[in-house]
Structure 1
Amino acid sequence: MNTASIEVENVRFHYGRRRALDDITFTLVSGAFNALLGPNGAGKTTLFGLITRLLSLQQGDIRVDGQSMSKHPARVMRQLGVVFQQSTLDLDLTVAQNLHYHAALHGMSRVRARERIQVELERFAMADRAGEKVRKLNGGHRRRVEVARALLHEPRILLLDEPTVGLDPKTRRELNDHVHELSHEQGLTVVWATHLIDEVRPDDNVIIIHEGRILAHASSHEVCRDLGSPDLVSAFAHLTGDVEAAAL
């Protein structure tokens, strides 16, 4: 899989008078697992909204492989697969029907859609559930379907906004492990937004965001080393002064 990078340059965003993002600038590592780490309200979802064009840029630019989001939105969006924080599956459709609908939106033929659906459902050990209605699935299986759906059109970048919200610890860990494997084995550029520090591995690229600002951007172990912190929990508390958030 060809990898792609994301560049965010001087992005600011306000909801009325409230500042959500303040001069955000960074480049995400291509073909790697990138964790966007911050407490609830830090600006993660706003940033995802801008990258996915749910929100309009007010200031700054976002580029994918050098292509500006504002100038070439269709080209950029074709390279993105997205899993939103809130589920967007139709509960009254089957797994396969949900995926076929998504494939149709991307202009895929029925034959190609069937091929891609089979590949992705097998990847997530969900092929035997294709004919089941989504409302019969548990939260972990629904998330698997959402990630499979996001990968149907073979994007080069996978964005996941708090994908483990509401899942039990075992299911959280399994989903996190699976997406790490996708990144490492397929060379997929992953952006995993979370407020849970235990979802970030020492070798993951991590961007720590707090109150709309980037406080650190390096691998997790480099952030800890540079701050002289024994672990990412301590490093996060040191940077943000938010001991309670670091403990989550």
Structure 2
Amino acid sequence: MSINVEQVSFNYGKKKALNTLNFTLESGQFSALLGPNGAGKSTLFALLTRLYSLQSGSIQLQGLDLQKTPTQVMQQVGVVFQQSTLDLDLSVQQNLAYHAALHGFSSAEANIRIALELERMSMADRANEKVRALNGGHRRRVEIARALLHQPSVLLLDEPTSGLDPQTRKILNQHVRQLCEDQQLTVLWATHLIDEIHSQDRVLLLHQGSLLSSGTGGDLCTLSGKKQLAHAFEYLTQHTVAAA
């Protein structure tokens, strides 16, 4: 297994954001973390990336415990957060070079890795452009390239297509799927958009902090008795609210 989450709960004061989550993700798998805004997706990502400390439960990545060996774990993880963290006044190359330096790469090694990842993301010809001049989709590609510089085995993306147009969202989603296939990356893609999920994808359906289902998109349809994933998602979330 690549990611293992056991009995994880998290509260903001008296408000429960996550309620006893349990799931595992296999290596080389594209998985979607699906849920409406406020479902707890960003809270889970904050725990997976150590922005928040665990209050209960445990998280293992690549067999390593996040609390016991945090440095080793984070060396295995690449992250793209919902809010962009690029320096708009630096070029693409400068942004990536700065990140590579934080990982301790020499200039020569950094240049090799930067060239490789920009080529992989079809951004090699934009290396010397300032990030401010790029559109939203291209900025996201740069952030993904940056997240992969240290060759992680796990890639976490929190609402990576937020604010992008449908065509750009589709292209970016396809790029990440190809990376998953080519490099055997374990990908966890958080979204509230049904059209970013395929029926064969592993889907973690999160609603009001609880995990409603962790099967494939097709399993959600079977569970709900609906033919379309969008209808299955709507049925399952509404049914849960009604039963609460």
- Alignment TM-score, normalising by the size of structure 2: 0.96
Matched, 1:136 2:133: yes
Unpaired stretches in structure 2, ≥5 consecutive residues: 240-244
In structure 2, what is the equivalent of residue 208 of structure 1? 205
Mapping 1:54-133, distance limit 5 Å: 54-133=51-130
| Greater mean alpha carbon deviation, residues 43-52 or residues 63-72 | 63-72
In structure 2, what is the Cα distance between the partners aligned to 1:116 and 1:124?
A: 12
Q: 1:39 aligns with which of 17, 26, 36?
A: 36
Q: 1:181 aligns with which of 161, 178, 183?
A: 178
In structure 1, what is the equivalent of residue 142 of structure 2? 145
- RMSD over aligned Cα, in angstroms? 1.0
In structure 2, what is the Cα distance between the partners aligned to 1:66 and 1:19?
A: 28
Deviations 1:19-43 (A, max 9, x none): 1001011001321100000000000
Mapping 1:168-247, distance limit 5 Å: 168-241=165-238
**8 Å contact kept, 2:153–2:185:** yes
What letter is aligned with 2:139? Answer: R
Deviations 1:191-222 (A, max 9, x none): 00000011000111100000000000111112
Q: 2:9 aligns with which of 1, 9, 12?
A: 12
**8 Å contact kept, 1:89–1:134:** yes
In structure 2, what is the Cα distance between the partners aligned to 1:132 and 1:51?
A: 32
Q: CA deviation at 1:228?
A: 2.0
In structure 2, what is the equivalent of residue 164 of structure 1? 161
**Identity, % of aligned pairs?**
60
Q: CA deviation at 1:235?
A: 1.3
SS of match in other structure, 1:143: helix
SS of match in other structure, 1:218: coil
In structure 1, what is the equivalent of residue 242 of structure 2? none
In structure 2, what is the Cα distance between the partners aligned to 1:196 and 1:226?
A: 20
| Greater mean alpha carbon deviation, residues 23-32 or residues 42-51 | 23-32
In structure 2, what is the Cα distance between the partners aligned to 1:142 and 1:17?
A: 37
**8 Å contact kept, 2:220–2:233:** no
In structure 2, what is the Cα distance between the partners aligned to 1:59 and 1:226?
A: 30
What letter is aligned with 1:56? Answer: S
Give the paired residue count. 239
In structure 1, what is the Cα distance between the partners aligned to 2:238 and 2:224?
A: 13
SS of match in other structure, 2:214: strand
**8 Å contact kept, 2:9–2:19:** yes
Q: CA deviation at 1:225?
A: 2.0
In structure 1, what is the Cα distance between the partners aligned to 2:209 and 2:120?
A: 36
Q: CA deviation at 1:223?
A: 2.0
Unpaired stretches in structure 1, ≥5 consecutive residues: 243-248
Structure 1 moving runs of 4+ over 6 Å: none
Q: CA deviation at 1:229?
A: 1.5
**8 Å contact kept, 2:224–2:232:** yes
